[in-house]
Amino acid sequence: MAAKPTSGALDPSGIPPEERLIVALDVPTAAEARELVGELGDACRFYKIGLELLMTGEYFDLLEWLIGRGKKVFADLKLFDVPNTVEAAVRRLAGRGITFVTVHGNDTMLEAACRAREDLKILAVTALTSLDRGDLEDLGFHTDVSSLVLSRARRALAIGCDGVISSGHEARALRSELGDRILIVVPGIRPVANVDDQKRTVDVEDAFRLGADYIVVGRPIRSHPDPKAEAGRVQQIIRSVFGN
């Protein structure tokens, strides 16, 4: 399939523009997560809940609360374990109304997740956006980040995963080679100069023009003096990119 265009309005590909923004609820408590969701109101329809909230013991209560309010949920759990355990974990997540779940493992783990997914979409983590080439070398990967991401994405697609988590820096190459056969979810979105632990970041418009289907935004919205206004600003950029 042809790559997405990099100028002008993009092909919406059936995804409602307002659902392309995923807000990361990376907060210490479920109460804080509910408060932020309430504050954002109709400015966000899609939320990511990850490991920090899992440790609160209220993860599934929060999940049901979000689903009950018509929100979509991305369970960012980065499952990594022996294949049987990954398969069992995904099976426990299926049927709960979750849209995406992440797996951060090798081929056999991804295969196990795909066997159990039912209504879930499996997203393979390629390389965390907090890692650069130096970090990969420390981990024993003697390759550049882009090559590693593309290799992992090819394998994930061949296995049957629905999408990948990738920095915007690698999105263009992924889209160019893999076309629309795979979803690309881009975290590490920074609307302003980046000063935190994310090393491979892009802004909202660039992420989509490079090939993203969805973006994940956390700190820039949560820490803004007016989170709803900032989420609305991001949504306006998305609408302008997709010609809505």
Active site residues: 78
Looking at the chain, how many residues does it have?
244
Alpha-carbon radius of gyration of the chain:
17
Asked if residues 156 and 125 have their Cβ atoms less than 8 Å apart, the reply is: no
Alpha-carbon gap, residue 95 to 126, rounded angstroms: 26
Residues 6+ apart with CB under 8 A from 198: 129, 130, 187, 188, 190
- How remote is the C-alpha of 123 from its chain's centroid? 8
Asked if residues 220 and 190 have their Cβ atoms less than 8 Å apart, the reply is: yes
